[in-house]
Structure 1
């Protein structure tokens, strides 16, 4: 059984937030923006993008389920 898109969305949103917090800590410990900080922010942005994609898919799936139930 596969996971729902909403669960995947929450998972990627949590991971993006974690990477973002690590990037903030990394920037605070160093003199500013270094390679590690930029990579962490890039991973966070990628995770947020995937999270919103999964949230959109969950919304479409719910809408399709509502439409199929109304047609019965």
Structure 2
């Protein structure tokens, strides 16, 4: 099993990717449509998971 730091970095990369795609979609359409809002929501969820993994890291190093 990979470390929590690894999974935190994976989810952080995915979150930044979804933010990038949301910015690109907003630039193409010129407005906030349902797809853009969904991309931002997925990015927020990925940021939350990444932060949870980063907070888990110090607990696993103590063991």
TM-score normalised to the size of structure 2? Answer: 0.94
Q: Which has the larger radius of gyration?
A: 1
1:30-41 map, 5 Å: 30-41=29-40
1:44 matched to 2:55: no
Q: Provide structure 1 residue ranges, at least 5 long, that are not aligned to the other structure.
A: 66-72
- Partner in structure 1 of residue 6 of structure 2: 7
Q: Which has the higher contact order (CA 8 A, sep 6+)?
A: 2
Q: Distance in 2 between matches of 1:59 and 1:15?
A: 22
What is the RMSD of the two structures over their aligned residues, measured on CA atoms? 0.8
Q: Aligned residue pairs: how many?
A: 63
Q: Provide structure 2 residue ranges, at least 5 long, that are not aligned to the other structure.
A: none
Cα deviation 1:14-63 (Å, max 9, x = unaligned):
0000000000000010021000000000000000000000000012212x
TM-score normalised to the size of structure 1? Answer: 0.83
